[in-house]
Structure 1
Amino acid sequence: MTHHLYHAPADCPVCGDDLIVTRKGCRTCGTELAGEFTSCAYCGLETSELDLLRVFLTSRGNLREVEKHLQVSYPTARARLDAVIDKLGFTPTGDAADSQSDPSDPVTGEPAEEPMSPQEQVLARVAAGEISADIAATLLASL
């Protein structure tokens, strides 16, 4: 018989302090261990945050895949990943000043994307709702 495993809370519902694992057991042979065990860093993440990390890792750090999976813009996908990184207590390499001088993506370490062509900029403005398709067609024709 397969038992459903629940995601254990990371914080105490009474005082809000961190919970620790005090008992572990084997469902096959019934062996039990009691004591004070540390939780993993990822145990405090919510299901949606774990899903984001799964997509990020299985796509080998491709934020465009995360963007597609979440159906959000690239900046939103990156902000959500940054929030998970922050929640885990990790410090992303570099900062805003470094990202100006370093052309690589601070999260993936991959080279930054090439600047958008004028045509791509026009299409991005349409996608963002800044201009209509008619205005975009006129702009593209003049390029």
Structure 2
Amino acid sequence: MSGKHLYHAPADCPVCGDTLITTRKGCLRCGTEIAGEFASCEFCNLGQADLDLLKVFLGSRGNLREVEKHLQVSYPTARVRLDAVLAKLDLEPSGETAARASDEGAEEAPSEYGEEVPGEGSPEDQILARVARGEITPEVAAQLLG
């Protein structure tokens, strides 16, 4: 690959909003081009910040404390951001899984780092923790934080 800067392709059509597909691919080295209808990967729609978060999460073998350090945010905020990336990938965020388990009468396993302690952390962190646990929606959190 040459030193040319490659831009991230948009995921949605700027005219109608429908999902875009790739119809042409080319080699920067030899100039070969192919045309057709190619599916994009589910990760291609993520922005660079989301991809960086996933790289840190996967590189640390799922250690959310490492994501917390990388983002330089509180643990609940890191968890909310990871849940947002999971939602973009149509994966169920952890708060919804925990809520469903308790609704079905299953015993919820304690979190890796213990449960949030009421009264600890800033009010913003407590609101984000409630979103992460599935107690409130992101929209309600935005109103509370607004």
Pair 1:70-2:71 in alignment? yes
Q: Percent identity, please.
A: 60
* Structure 2 residues without counterparts, runs of 5 or longer: 124-146
Task: State the partner residue of 1:46.
Answer: 47
CA–CA distance in structure 2, aligned partners of residues 56 and 98 of structure 1: 24
Q: Hey, what does 1:55 align to over in structure 2?
A: 56
Q: Which has the higher contact order (CA 8 A, sep 6+)?
A: 2
SS class of match (1:42): helix
Name the counterpart of 1:16: 17
Q: Structure 1 segments of 4 or more deviating over 4 A?
A: none
1:96 maps to what in 2? 99
Secondary structure in structure 2 of the residue aligned to 1:85: helix
Which whole-Å CA distance do the structure 2 matches of 1:77 and 1:22 have between them?
A: 36
Q: How far does residue 114 in structure 1 lie from its aligned partner after superposition?
A: 4.7
Question: Judging changes above 3 Å, is the alpha-carbon distance between structure 1 residues 53 and 9 closer, same or farther for their aligned structure 2 residues?
Answer: same
Q: CA deviation at 1:98?
A: 2.3
Secondary structure class of the residue paired with 2:56? helix
The normalised TM-score by structure 1 is: 0.70
Select the structure of larger CA radius of gyration: 1
Structure 1: 5+ residue stretches without partners: 106-111, 130-143
Aligned length: 116
Opposite residue 44 of structure 1, the aligned amino acid is N
- Aligned residue for 2:44, secondary structure, equals coil
Query: Alignment RMSD, CA only?
Result: 2.5
Q: Which moved more, 1:90-99 or 1:76-85?
A: 90-99
**Post-superposition offset of 1:16:** 0.9
